[in-house]
Structure 1
Amino acid sequence: MKGFKEFLARGNVIDLAVAVIIGAAFTAIVNALVEGIFNPLIAAIFNADDIATATWQIGSISFGIGSVIAAIINFLLIAAVVYFVIVLPINKMNEAAYVRKHGHKPEDEEVPPSDNELLVEIRDLLAAQKGEIK
């Protein structure tokens, strides 16, 4: 029971609860956007009354692609918002914190040579010592 109390006290549960609530609210916004704007546009492109009835006819075969397209659009919208609203700002904040702590950007650090580069350098130094400079 003590471990459970510590888990609750850390704040992870509250953060998770907030994320779930915000996610549910955001899902409602994205669903309204897809249902209100994108689905009617896709249905109009395929001359369908409803996106679920939008089909692509090839010969005698009819593909019901309207709902698939709507799901793809829904996924892309959610992914774009998550990236631009959550991931990108957090990356910028992390980079700013790194600059404040270290005085430079992470990519400004010198990258150590790879194992192969070190071995080539050692080989060249040994060859130079023996007078076998290529």
Structure 2
Amino acid sequence: MAVIFAVVGGGAVLGIATSPDYGDYGDHSDHSDYSNYSDEAERRQRRIEDKKREINSKKSNVNTYKTQSVNSYLQSSTLREESGVTVNLAEVRRDGDKKISDKLNTDFNSDAASLKHEIEEIDAVINKIDKILKEEE
């Protein structure tokens, strides 16, 4: 029995003597970099949050501009209700240009009617003058 104990005990001592020293971290990379990775992740997360806030702010600015400056030129209620970020700009341009064109035509026709009336009055006066001149001859 002593022989078995000596063999088993000797093997255990030999195993302990040849096992690697796990307390020695000399073969691993520099552990002080771990805090740098954590700091970098925090900085990256802050940059992402800042960009999200910036994007939301710009979306808000676009929507405000559309609501205050563009909607008054639109005829389509669908285009007026749509967000400034997602609205189709070509459709907005067509709709707005049509409303502006219609307004210009209405204004022009109104001005033209007024001018036409003035021309008719002037023409009537000229005809009277012409009639008077013909009678005197």
TM-score norm. by structure 2 comes to: 0.30
Larger radius of gyration: 2
Bigger relative contact order, structure 1 or 2 (CA pairs below 8 A, ≥6 apart): 2
Structure with the bigger percentage of helix? 2
Structure with the bigger percentage of strand? 1
